[in-house]
Amino acid sequence: MTIELKENERIDELQRNGYQIIQNKEKFCFGIDAVLLSGFTKVKKNEKVLDLGTGTGIIPILLEAKSKAKHLAGLEIQQESADMARRSVCMNHLEDKIEIVCGDIKEASTLFGTSSFDVITTNPPYMISEHGLKNDDLPKTIARHEFLCNFDDIAKESSKILVPGGRFYLVHRPFRIAEIISTLIRYGLEPKRMRFVHPYIDKEPNMVLLEARKGGNSRVTVEKPLIVYRDKNCYTDEILQLYGF
């Protein structure tokens, strides 16, 4: 199948099952946070998975490569990103496994129905709308700032969409952890597993990975830190393994 590339688009290798992904270097390309989230997420055989704010579809594609999920879906509000995601799905011949939907996270439960997924993943905008520098390029602003939805919207819709006992997986910034946990609990998503990500062993964490369960008991396990670099520009063995090297 011949896949059309549009202006400034490129095809990147994913080191998993020979899969590739289409990205636009002038817009927003996936980063290590998406790779870490896919590695942290646990998907059981025949489960249904939804990725909220999927961008160009990186997380559903990576999860399809590592799991035996029955069906994966990605929801993305930006038409341009959703189009790239769909073309990547076709390029990898995954049309029967992955569905890309263009729509608003705030309407996710209406789009997909309540109690319709076993697992939800999300790599949401980290910055609140008035925090930090905004990029003049709207697609990057939407990806990095809570411009079109906030974390409360994500937690509320996820609680509706997940089946009882369903699992919610998130990558975010540690400075918002108190807000994240309190919001999840308010919507019946109980934090169960957490792992902090450190750029170097002697540096403070700059990311946090979190698993919550719909209707779970109040008990959380904090896993050992994940260290990204052992030296400058040199990944640790665990990170190399996540990238497929």
Residue 130: predicted pLDDT: 52
Positive or negative, the Cα torsion across 34, 35, 40, 44?
positive
Closest by Cα among 13, 111, 112 to 61: 13
Asked if 178 and 186 count as a contact pair (C-beta separation under 8 A), the reply is no
Count other Cβ atoms within 10 Å, centred on residue 137: 12
Are 49 and 63 in contact, with CB atoms under 8 Å apart?
yes
Domains and CATH numbers, the chain: 30-242 (3.40.50.150)
Neighbours of 186 (CB within 10 A): 12
The distance in angstroms from the start CA to the end CA of the chain is: 27
What does the pLDDT read at residue 244? 82
| CA dist list (Å): 152 to 29, 34, 38, 86 | 25, 21, 22, 28
Nearest to 36 by CA among 213, 215, 230, 199: 199
Neighbours of 102 (CB within 10 A): 17
Residue with tokens 């289409």: 22
> Average pLDDT, whole number, for the chain?
91
pTM: 0.90
Q: What is the mean pLDDT of residues 78-107?
A: 96
pLDDT digits (tens, 9 = 90+) for 139-177: 544 445 444 579 999 999 999 999 999 999 999 999 999
177-220 pLDDT, tens per residue?
Answer: 999 999 999 999 999 999 999 999 999 999 999 999 999 999 99
How much is the average pLDDT of 119-123? Answer: 97
pLDDT at 132 over 70: no
Count of beta carbons in the 10 Å neighbourhood of residue 142 = 20
Q: How far is CA 100 from CA 90, 131, 172, 224, in A?
A: 11, 30, 23, 34
Quote the CA–CA distance of 98 and 101 in Å, as a whole number: 10
